[in-house]
Chain A
Amino acid sequence: MTATRDYVRAHIRDPNAIAYTVMFLAAVLFPITVQFATNGNGDYLVGLAADGGVYMLMAIGLNVVVGFAGLLDLGYAAFFAIGSYTYAILASAHLGATPFGHDVHIPFWLLLFIAMFVAAGAGVLLGAPTLRLRGDYLAIVTLGFGEIVPQVFSNGGVWTGGVPGISALDAPKLPFWIQGPWVNEPLGFTPEQFRFTSANLTAYYVLMVILIIGVVILVNNLQHSRLGRAWMAVREDESAAAACGVNTVSVKLLAFSIGAATSGFAGAFYGAKLSYVSSENFGFIVSVTVLAMVVLGGMGNIPGAMIGAIVLYFILFQFLPNAPAQFEGLATSLGLDSLNHSTAVWPGLGEEVSRMKYVIFGLVLVGIMLLRPQGLLPSQVRKQELTHPGHHELAQRAK
């Protein structure tokens, strides 16, 4: 009891501990609150949150690559695609339609890890020849990789389903599932194997929360280990790290493939939830969005990247799609209803806002970065780098 109290006392002012606690409580309360607030019709929102979790997983993984090891990866969505396609090919009737001739239905729980290893393997394949490059060159190579992978999948003909992709993927199965008032049913078990369906997105949500907790624990362990220290050292000064006995290439390769593995993991979940994959879903915009989440949330800090993911996901997939209607409503309630009607020179407020969607998005990003250049919840190091005067400034001040 005293141990718990001491622990709480020691961490009460630690912003990361607070962020973790708040996020955990929010994750637990979210589906219940939503279902009660919408009279059990909130499945859509819960599913949206589960999709947001996919981005959060990717942000955590990219944070290892960009935040910890300082490697700019602009093709991160490639590994996401590889994870999704691994799931799609090995958990559907798709292979039956190829020269292979047999359906393959490997269980979701196994494929989650297979997809992870396949993506990590792709990370090693890409990283081994390219990680000798530094800085901008690496960014360009990864950018290229990110463009190539979706192209390969859309041109893979019968093996990858071409442009339409692969559909009717298997859903995860459990022997039973807990049900309750949040799905308008009495509390109890459902001893059936169907509970991961599009009619019960809470199951996916819960699974996602569990996956995220697991990944956060593992990545957090890594950050505070021998490897995490080596990543930091490589980010700060590669030559000095090498002189201290760090094999910089293999350490960077590990960061790269661990990031890729997380992305592949998220990809398998994404494929299973959507029950459909198509190369269209893995474009450059996904890589950039995840990178923006990491930078905006606070590079090098796990809860920072998670908060960045929540904020950006909310803006992109909840706020912006609803913005036109919201603005129209606001205009009406202010008695400016005339704004909502289109004229020869004015398309109507809703249409105008809808056209300006990405301008608003860009302004929000710029605004956040101006107000908090170190990110919403930065690592201590980033905070120092941005708030401490550099050597030159110090030298000038001394004059």
Chain B
Amino acid sequence: MTDYILRVSGLTKRFGGLTAVDNVSFDVPAGEVFALIGPNGAGKTTLFNCVTGVYKPTLGTVTFLDRDLTGSPPHRAAKAGIARTFQNIRLFEYMSALDNVRLGHHCRMKSHLWDSLLKTPRERHEERDITDHSMELLDLVGLSHQAENYARNLAYGQQRRLEIARALATSPKLLLLDEPAAGFTPQEKVELMELVQTILKRGITVFLIEHDMKVVMQASHRIAVLDHGEKIAEGTPGEVRGNQRVIEAYLGKSA
């Protein structure tokens, strides 16, 4: 029997008259890479936003580790163990790379207002620990030499990797990556796939949206396909590749 870390059932999100996500259900198995693909405007990011609590779903439920997370705010989702990156990179531009990653630890930290005000030993100790851990994560994504630089001064690829490090800092069990390979060179894509494997080895399930088919087909164990808000296919990369509806969605119906 497979363990499912995330179960989405009957999820619907409407914006006024527009149905962005329409009755979508799928289960993400723990410890694997699950990919969500589909043409532009298919509702992939909206679905991500529903899972992480940015949007409240109109209908349906999101269950994470057997806990109902439907409609709980983003910081709750992060605390429960769901971390994410954004399609258009959203770093804290005027904070150093190190501070970006340190901030990611926020929801796992235990010092209270009192500790911060008085700089208690507990606070100092915790700060030291998360700084060490942040450096470790920066090292993991190959950015330890940039620790003191402002996030805005990093190169594009570095910013994407910094976002992943920041997400990892929340000690997630599930990592949502929204188009992590967008704008990457082939070499960077190879490095990204290696990074995904490393993350997987740490026991973190990866759930990604990606347009680059080569990355998707190589990296993921299971794929779900969205088109116009509906799920049109789900299966192993091999199954999805041969699916008639998927081919139609991407290439259009032949006359």
Which A positions have Cβ atoms within 8 angstroms of B? 218, 221-222, 225-230, 232-233, 236-237, 239-248, 254, 381, 384-385, 388
**Chain B residues within an 8 Å CB radius of A227:** 113, 116
| B150-172 contacts to A (CB < 8 Å) | 150, 152, 166-167, 169-170
The answer to whether B78 touches A243, judged by C-beta atoms less than 8 angstroms apart, is yes
> In the complex the two chains form, what is the Cα distance from A247 to B107 in whole Å?
8
Does B147 sit at the interface, judged by CB under 8 A? no
Separation of A128 and B233 alpha carbons in the complex (Å): 45
Q: Which residue of A lies closest to B99 (CB)?
A: A229
Q: Please give me the residue from chain A that is nearest to B53 by CB atom.
A: A242
Residues of B within 8 A of A221 (CB): 116-119
The 8 Å CB contact of B123, one of A225, A240, A242, is: A225
User: With contacts A221-B116, A245-B79, A246-B103 known, is A239 near B93, CB below 8 A?
Assistant: no
Q: Is the CB of B150 within 8 A of A384?
A: yes
Residues of B within 8 A of A381 (CB): 94
Not counting A218-B118, A221-B118, a sample of 10 additional A-B residue pairs whose C-beta atoms are within 8 angstroms of each other reads A225-B111, A225-B116, A227-B116, A228-B116, A242-B74, A243-B74, A244-B104, A244-B167, A246-B106, A385-B94
Closest Cβ of chain B: how far from A235's Cβ, in Å? 9
- What would be 24 A-B contacts, judged by CB atoms less than 8 Å apart? A218-B117, A221-B119, A225-B119, A225-B123, A226-B109, A226-B123, A226-B126, A229-B103, A232-B92, A232-B103, A233-B92, A233-B103, A236-B92, A236-B95, A240-B86, A242-B74, A243-B52, A243-B86, A244-B106, A244-B169, A246-B106, A246-B107, A247-B73, A384-B94
- Docked Cα-Cα span, A242 to B52, in Å, equals 10
Rounded to whole angstroms, the CA-CA distance of A254 and B102 in the bound complex is 20
| Bound form: Cα–Cα A25–B123 in Å | 31
Q: Report yes or no: B75 in contact with A247, Cβ–Cβ below 8 A.
A: yes
Decide: A245 and B117 in contact? CB cutoff 8 A. Answer: no
**Given A221-B119, A236-B95; A245-B107 close (CB under 8 Å):** yes
Q: Are the CB atoms of B107 and A244 closer together than 8 Å?
A: yes
Asked whether B206 is an interface residue with its Cβ less than 8 Å from the other chain, the reply is no
Q: Which residues of A contact B119 (CB under 8 A)?
A: 221, 225
Query: How far is A244 from B74 in the complex, measured between Cα atoms in Å?
Result: 8
> Distance (Å) between the CB of A139 and the closest chain B CB?
22
B119 to chain A, nearest CB (A): 5
Residue B84 at the chain A interface, CB threshold 8 Å: yes
Q: Taking the nearest CB of chain B, how far is it from the CB of A233, in angstroms?
A: 5
- CA distance in complex: A242, B117 (Å): 23
B90 within 8 A of partner (CB): yes
Query: For A243, what are the chain B residues with a Cβ–Cβ distance below 8 Å?
Result: 52, 54, 74, 78, 83-84, 86, 90
Hey, which chain A residues are within 8 Å of B86, CB to CB? Answer: 240, 243
Shortest Cβ distance from A240 into B: residue: B90
**Complex Cα distance A225/B124, Å?**
9
Q: How far apart sit A371 and B97, CA to CA, in the bound complex (Å)?
A: 31
Q: Are B116 and A226 in contact (CB under 8 A)?
A: yes
- B183, chain A: closest CB distance, angstroms: 15
- Return A91 CB to nearest CB of chain B, in Å: 26
The closest CB in chain A to the CB of B117 belongs to A218
Tell me the complex Cα distance, A236–B90, Å. 9
Interface string of B18-46 (1 = CB under 8 A from A): 00000000000000000000000000000
Q: How far is the CA of A254 from the CA of B106 in the complex (A)?
A: 15
Residues of chain A lying within 8 A (CB to CB) of residue B95: 229, 232-233, 236
Complex CA–CA separation, A221 to B114 (angstroms): 10
Residues of A within 8 A of B106 (CB): 226, 229-230, 233, 244-246
Q: Which residues of B are in contact with A by a Cβ distance under 8 Å?
A: 52, 54, 73-75, 78-79, 83-84, 86, 90-95, 99, 102-104, 106-109, 111, 113, 115-119, 123, 126-127, 150, 152, 166-167, 169-170
Number of A-B contacts defined by CB within 8 Å: 100
The CA-CA distance from A391 to B105 in the complex, in Å, is 29
The closest CB in chain A to the CB of B126 belongs to A226
Q: How far is the CB of B218 from chain A (nearest CB, A)?
A: 27
| Interchain nearest-CB distance for A121 vs B (Å) | 15
Q: Which of A222, A225, A242 contacts B75 (CB 8 A)?
A: A242
Residues of B within 8 A of A240 (CB): 86, 90-92
User: Is the beta-carbon distance between B118 and A244 smaller than 8 angstroms?
Assistant: no
- Which residue of chain A is the closest to B104 with respect to CB atoms? A244
B39 to chain A, nearest CB (A): 25
Question: How near does chain B come to A59, taking the closest CB pair, in angstroms?
Answer: 19
C-alpha gap A240/B49 in the complex (Å): 12
B127 partner residues in chain A, CB cutoff 8 A: 225-226
Contacts of A222 in B (CB 8 A): 116-117
Shortest distance from the beta carbon of B88 to any chain A beta carbon, whole Å: 11
Complex CA gap A229/B106 in Å reads 9
In Å, the complex CA distance between A221 and B127 comes to 12
Least distance between B225 CB and chain A CB atoms (Å): 25
Chain B residues within an 8 Å CB radius of A237: 90-92
Nearest to A223 among chain B residues (CB) is: B116
Query: What CA separation (Å) do A384 and B94 show in the bound complex?
Result: 8
Taking the nearest CB of chain A, how far is it from the CB of B55, in angstroms?
Answer: 11
Chain A nearest CB, measured from B185 CB (Å): 19
Residue of B nearest to A226 (CB): B109
CA distance in complex: A248, B119 (Å): 22
Q: Which of A232, A254, A385, A388 sits near B113, CB closer than 8 Å?
A: A254
User: Shortest beta-carbon distance, A144 to chain B, in Å?
Assistant: 27
If A229-B99, A237-B90 touch, whether A246 touches B116 (CB-CB below 8 Å) is no
Residues from chain A with a CB closer than 8 A to the CB of B116 are: 221-222, 225-228
Smallest CB-CB separation from B163: which chain A residue? A240
Minimum CB–CB distance from B168 to chain A (whole Å) comes to 11
Contact A244 B117 (CB under 8 A): no
Docked Cα-Cα span, A388 to B107, in Å, equals 32
Residue of B nearest to A381 (CB): B94
Task: Kindly state the separation between the CA atoms of A230 and B103 in the bound complex, as whole angstroms.
Answer: 7
User: In whole angstroms, how far apart are the Cα atoms of A166 and B109 in the complex?
Assistant: 46
